[in-house]
A and B are shown apart, each in its own frame.
Chain A
Amino acid sequence: MNLRLAFSACLLTLLVACGAETPPANSVAASAGSPSAAATSAEPASQPEAGGLATPVPSAPAGPVIVYSSRQEHLIKPLFDRFTAETGIEVQFQTGEEGPLIARLQAEGEGTYADVLYTVDAGNLWMAAERGLLRPTQSALLEQNIPAHLRDPQGRWFGLSVRARTIAYSTERVDPAQLSTYEDLADPKWKGKLCLRTSKKVYNMSLVATLIDRLGDAEAEKVVRGWVANLAAPVFSSDLLIIDAIAAGQCDVGIINTYYLGQAQQQTPEVPVALFWANQQGAGVHVNVSGAGITTHAKNPEAALRLIEWLSTGEPQLMFSELNLEYPASPAVEPVELVRSWGEFKPDTINVDIAGRLQADAVKLMDRADYR
């Protein structure tokens, strides 16, 4: 009796689950509460859904743009919603980790639903481009809005927001006059005072990639070994834990992405941690990007290009800064107040694709130096 019940329940669940599959996998709208089940399949000619919009957009390409993104939903959805409101082009997205998303894109090949790959770290974008997953694109608007060092020289991807990785220090125990460069953190004067995030995080791989480019393999390894020797605690699994550790007195200095300090300051305005702009006498602060490219097998490349172009313009650029306290990629746009309060800095202007080209070398170097 009970078993029969369980069996029927099983059948029912399976039916429900299979029912969810009946529309082609790409047609479920990912955006919140979006009632549109506008089938996208591969047919190019269905009308855009936003019929109620006052301004018809004659040039709007048909069908939604489908985005594979490793960015968190709350950071991208407001942007996509705004884009849809302004252009009438619907945006659907699937979030996931960078590595698996790129592997999925590659596995899907010509059959992929994705029009746009949008991810953090130029290294990931570089690798997707290397594997032929992104198509070269010409866009005068993007070339004008995005500085050359923040995009692929062949136009396969474009940086859209800038993330600066610099030195954080305790305002209670460190005189900023003692600080100078990333390399200087390897000096024995910081012994037992440095906190770092794990070398498995791509941010640190990129930073070390620029060190290798600037100093050469041997010298960069010496720096990384110096960092490891100076560690006050085993490396952490997140930048926020580093800020906590500096505030709690476990260490005095660390290397973090700036927006994490912004998050900490939003929670606790008086947190006794401040930013120091590294390498201002030399190459400048290490920056990386979040960025996007159009997939090689995009079904809707025109709309995809419109989305990326739109993301490089004023309003959305400001939104990047508002949503995650990052820096706009476009120099014409000022970041929000909290971000401005950290002051101006000189960024490293080497092309960010160095993060990809030297990532494997950086990983190997950090392994050799026992930076975990």
Chain B
Amino acid sequence: MSADLPLTLPAKPASRPDYLLWKSLGFVLALLVSLPLLLIVAQWGALGSGEQDIWQHLLDTKLDRLAGNTLILLLGVGAGVTVLGVSLAWLCSMCEFPGRRLFEWALMLPLAIPGYVMAFVFLGTFNFAGPVQTALRAQFGNGVWFPDMQGPGAVMLVLSLVLYPYVYMLARAAFLAQSRSQMDAARILGLRPFNAFLRVALPGARPAIAAGVALALMETLADFGAVAVFNFDTFTTAIYGAWYGLFNLQVAAQLASLLLLFVALAMTLEQYGRRNARHVQEGRARVAGYALTGVRAAAASLLCVAVLGLAFVLPLVQLLLWTLGTVTREGIDPRFAEFLARSLALGAGAACVTVALALVLAMVRRLPGTAWTQRWQSLALRVATLGYALPGSVLAVGIMLLFTGIDRQLAARLGLQPMLVGGMVALVLAYVVRFLAVAHAPIDAGLQGIKPSVIEAARSLGAAPARVLSAVYIPLLRPGLITAALLVFVDVMKEMPATLILRPFGWDTLAVRIFQMTSEGQWERAALPGLILLLSGLIPVILLVKQSRRGASS
């Protein structure tokens, strides 16, 4: 407020409050979510001679191979989920072919299948000793060729099959929301349907597709269960190797923080790549479908059947068969109702907290402010959503470090019993940190579709942020919010490593149950909890389908 400021400048607070309270709240929340991650990164402080030896050893022996494997896997899965997700989304939202109405929702079902379950079913079915190759050898002799089931191709396929629904869902919503006038204009200007897709629809859906692919790739980086089944070594393998094999948790955390750095870089590059693009949707009229006929229609149906068969029917049938076998032998454990109830409660509770947090963070970032606060707000949000790329056990260690620290302080200063480690708060925080990115993607995509003028109008009419949130954002964002909540719900139910280590005493869930059965490779015994997990995971997926239909018809 120096005196030489021109007096004509409007006094800022009157028309544009700087929302200090909201912005601080956003910072505090983002910081809370980022703290476990920062504690992981802080393990670089413990770089003694033992750690240096291990680093030297890793660099000498396998780190380059593992990093290479990880990159190959990311490329393969990235290509796989993009091709599958975008093509299926386009076919099911923009074309007409036999079975489309069924496939449109059924193609979301693989979301309910945990990657590790898909991996062991796939390997059990297609490896050398499995039924398919055995039958082939019986028919054609021992020399019969079969694709390598323990190489990178199989891992990529399995991960693509469980992760493509993220891309499918977000891309489909984007295609459905695209205005008819753009596509009409493209067609009038003489573009063939495919070219119109490439040059108009695809660029328009790019933010949604990129968000979906980013989710799939972060999940790939964090995955340990599926790659372990195939014994395909990735960067995450090195993290666990340092921890379990070499007994060095510090090096494990240091490796994990490199993973975070990599993700942060990749996401920054992606944002930079589309820095100028902005797609605000004008109309919501449904674009008329292209009616496919003949070979094209058959090919479209066949693609959907193949994906659905491999990604959903195969694991479902295999789990059913195994379940029948074990249930007739051992009966059903009466505690399954309890396990299921806990899985559902954790999923629902974590979904609520995560979505609320993601909404506040996404909205606060859009409040007007100085370039400086805007930049920090974006950075805080970006750090806070990195947790999705972190393997669950490593994240759990970050949370344990945080909470034991707080517990010790509480005990020392107030004489309290330790209560945070092993408590529900720790577990829910783990889910929030891990899945904030999942909730953020659909909410952010929804926010991008809201015209800034609507918000500005509300603000200029004097609405406070809380009122803008409740009267404008939430109603407009409803589809995005529900999508976010259901995605987190399903992901929490499937989550295994963090649940295992942080759950309150005795709080066994379905995923914990699966671990107890599979830790010694007895896949059959894990079939029943796996099947229940899959079926209960279907409930939110079906809700998701219903709500996306409503979105399409409105």
Contact = CB atoms under 8 A, between A and B. Distances in A.
Given A25-B422, A92-B505, A239 B521 contact: yes
A41 B505 CA distance: 12
B93 to A, nearest CB: 24
Interface stretch (A26-34, A152-160, A304-312, A329-337): A26-34
B240 interface: yes
Nearest to A109: B404
B348 A9 contact: yes
B422 A100 contact: no
Given A9-B348, A103-B501, A234-B150, A26 B422 contact: yes
Given A13-B349, A72-B520, A244-B129, A237 B230 contact: yes
Interface stretch (A80-88, A138-146, A344-352, A357-365): A357-365
B129 A248 contact: yes
Interface string A230-242: 0001111111110
Contacts of B401: 107
B300 to A, nearest CB: 34
Interface stretch (B73-81, B371-379, B423-431): B423-431
A79 to B, nearest CB: 15
A92 B240 CA distance: 28
A99 interface: yes
B237 interface: yes
A28 B505 contact: yes
A244 B522 CA distance: 13
A96 B501 contact: yes
Contacts of A2: 478
Contacts of A33: 334-335
A247 B334 contact: no
Contacts of A107: 400-401, 404, 421
Contact of A97 (B127, B246, B400, B501): B501
B8 interface: no
Q: How large is the interface on B (under 10, 10 to 19, 20 to 34, 35 or more residues)?
A: 35 or more
A187 interface: no
Contacts of A103: 249, 397, 400, 501
Given A200-B241, A239-B521, A104 B501 contact: yes
Contacts of A41: 417
Interface stretch (A14-22, A47-55, A276-284): A14-22
A248 B517 CA distance: 24
Contacts of B506: 28-30, 92, 94
Contact of B501 (A16, A101, A241, A248): A101
18 contacts: A9-B348, A16-B345, A21-B424, A24-B419, A30-B506, A99-B240, A100-B393, A100-B397, A100-B497, A103-B501, A107-B404, A109-B404, A200-B244, A200-B245, A233-B128, A240-B521, A250-B128, A260-B521
Nearest to A197: B231
Interface of A: 2-3, 6, 9-10, 13-14, 16-18, 20-21, 24-30, 32-33, 41-42, 66, 70, 72-74, 92, 94-101, 103-104, 107-109, 111, 113, 127, 198, 200, 202, 205, 233-241, 244-245, 247-250, 260, 263, 359-360, 363-364, 367-368, 370, 372
B318 interface: no
Contacts of B384: none
Given A234-B150, A235-B231, A360-B245, A13 B348 contact: yes
Contacts of B245: 200, 202, 205, 359-360, 363
Nearest to B128: A250
A274 to B, nearest CB: 17
A244 B224 CA distance: 24
Given A233-B128, A237-B228, A363-B246, A72 B352 contact: no
Contacts of B521: 237-241, 260
B142 interface: yes
B500 interface: yes
B424 A17 contact: yes
A26 B393 contact: no
Contact of A245 (B129, B229, B244): B129
B150 to A, nearest CB: 4
B150 A21 contact: no
A364 B505 CA distance: 36
B61 A21 contact: no
Interface of B: 57, 60-62, 127-129, 134, 142, 150-151, 228-231, 233, 237, 240-241, 243-247, 249, 333-335, 345-346, 348-349, 352-353, 356, 393, 396-397, 400-401, 404, 407-408, 411, 417-419, 421-425, 428, 474-475, 478, 482, 485, 497, 500-501, 503-508, 512, 515-517, 519-522
A297 to B, nearest CB: 11
Contacts of B508: 30, 95
Q: Helix, strand, loop or mixed for chain A's interface? A: helix
Contacts of B515: 97
A285 to B, nearest CB: 20
A21 B504 contact: yes
Contacts of B345: 13, 16-17, 20
A362 B7 CA distance: 76
Contacts of A244: 129
Given A100-B393, A237-B231, A26 B150 contact: no
Nearest to B517: A72
A271 to B, nearest CB: 11
A359 B393 contact: no
A33 B400 CA distance: 29
A352 B345 CA distance: 43
B504 A104 contact: no
Contacts of A249: 142
A261 B145 CA distance: 29
A108 B404 contact: yes
A359 B241 CA distance: 12
A54 B277 CA distance: 79
Contact of A25 (B428, B482, B504): B504
Contacts of A113: 422, 505
B237 A200 contact: yes
Question: Sorted from nearest, which 8 A-B pairs have the closest CB atoms?
Answer: A238-B521, A111-B418, A10-B352, A248-B129, A28-B506, A244-B129, A100-B501, A30-B506
